[in-house]
Amino acid sequence: MERDRSITLGDIEQAQERFASERANLVARNAVTSAGVRSAARDPEIASRATTTFDIQLEQGEICDQKRSGRCWMFASLNTMRYRIMKKLGLKTFELSQAYPLFWDKYERSNWFFENIIATAADELASREVAYLLRDPLGDGGQWDMFRSLVKKYGVVPKEAMPETACSSSTGDLNKYLTRYLRHGAKRLRDAVAGGADAAELDAIKRELMDGVYRVLAICLGEPPATFDVRIRDEKNELKASGAYTPQAFFAEFVDMDLDAYVSVINAPTADKPYMRSYTVKYLGNVVEDGTVRYVNLPIEALRRAAVAQLEDGLPVWFGSDVDQGFLRDDGVIDPEALDVDRLFDLPIEAGLDKAARLDYGESLMTHAMTLQGVNLDEAGEPTLWRIENSWGADRGKKGYDIGSARWFDEYVYQVVVDRKYLTAEELAAYESEPVELAPWDPMGALAL
């Protein structure tokens, strides 16, 4: 018997009757049409539970603001580094330049894009991989491993050495016009390969294109300093640091961080990614000579354990999550129970998929990077609340901070970056094993914005 695939007038009439027969539907309709879904679903009791005092609480300084850019992964990374500078020099606050790594990321990512275009030049233009490369070659988002590559090569500078510009604070036009230029370059390179160009000719075209990339970036962001003078005073006006530095020397002396000691640990409980395995993502990276990203996939308990251990040792934790899930932005509360959407609609909207299914069916992935700055623990030493430093300015949430519940961490945190000493010998061996390469569009290749 053939199925009737159409919606009939009878179906609509029955749906209308069922809707009108339930008083809760009418109350929900009135609330949502007046205030919106989040306001109507907001649970005030959950919102009121968020504390601002924690068992372990690191003091980080003034909240930073990424403004109209997708640089959260840079801000979160720099926030872990500035903490070390503040601690070393006894400062209440300090800020590293976020425009400086933005310049070098765009520059390196352009080169990464051109190299991938050359490598796939024999593939059909309509192939899925070439289409993927062309779709968004220069977006703002990124990963910890990509930031590590930038710092290892270029170092860091204080904010005053390379301050924000209109184009770093709002990257839309920079990305738009530079992306168009990159696609023009992709056509030139593919046409050259089709015409029989040799390696030397391709290299000459790419270097000419990269000169154009540098010109656009320098016009929009200013040129990054090769050297700069440093004068840093504390709250008592005592001079704590002075002299001329290169970006690499400044990082070495004041951040003093072994970048290679920090590893990315993910939680992807899907059937295609067994735990205790190392993974990488095809085409995901920026600095060609440093290669692609690498993760080890572990149960969520391992991410919790390692994050708590690093906080207990007095260091913040970079992490990536699906930040919008259960997020009361004005309250600064992130908790799946804070928005009772299922009861509002009387449907299994939140409860319908578990973490693995959300990844498999495109419902969730990492969207935003922040830093863990504190945690509350129960009697068993398990986290109950997390103190989160965001990069959206101090005029929202808990003066720029957010409070994440234990359940939110388990359900929507996908990545933490911790010192390898917090992994067991077995976990570290899994990280160092030959990685399985994931497809470019795999959800674990999502970029934090």
User: Closest Cα partner for 323 from 77, 121, 76?
Assistant: 76
Q: Any idea what the Cα angle at residue 208 is, between residues 206 and 210, rounded to 5°?
A: 70
Q: Which of 79, 116, 376, 390 is catalytic?
A: 390
Dihedral sign (CA 173, 176, 179, 181): negative
CB burial readout 167-187, b (16+ within 10 A) else e: bbeebeebbeebbebbbebbe
DSSP 8-state secondary structure symbol assigned to residue 399: T
Instruction: Give the integer Cα–Cα distance in Å for 90 and 330.
Output: 32
Is the CB of residue 113 less than 8 Å from the CB of residue 129? Answer: no
- Helix (H) or strand (E) segment spanning residue 218: helix 199-221
- Which residue in the list 167, 220, 368, 376 is annotated as catalytic? 368
DSSP bridge partners of 65:
392
Instruction: Tell the burial category of 361 from Cβ atoms under 10 Å away from its Cβ (0-12, 13-18, 19+).
Output: exposed
Question: For 158, which DSSP code?
Answer: B
Strand partners for 333: 328, 403
Which of 64, 72, 167, 220 is labelled catalytic? 72
CA dihedral 335, 340, 341, 342 (to 10 degrees): 110
Cross-strand bridge partners of residue 403: 333, 387
368 is catalytic: yes
- DSSP strand pairing (383-389 vs 368-377): antiparallel
Active site annotation includes 167 = no
Angle formed by the axes of helices 99-119 and 172-194, to 10°? 20
Q: How many CB atoms lie within 10 A of CB 239?
A: 9
Contact between residue 417 and residue 265 where contact means Cβ atoms under 8 Å apart: yes
Element holding 205 (H helix, E strand): helix 199-221
Locate 381 and state its tokens.
């030493």
Q: Is 26 helix (H, G, I), strand (E, B) or coil?
A: helix
53-71: b (≥16 Cβ within 10 Å) or e: ebbbebebbebbbbeebbb
DSSP, collapsed to helix, strand or coil, labels residue 183 as: helix
What tokens were used for 132? 């993927």
Q: Cα–Cα distance between 287 and 202 in angstroms, integer?
A: 19
Active-site residue numbers?
A: 72, 368, 390
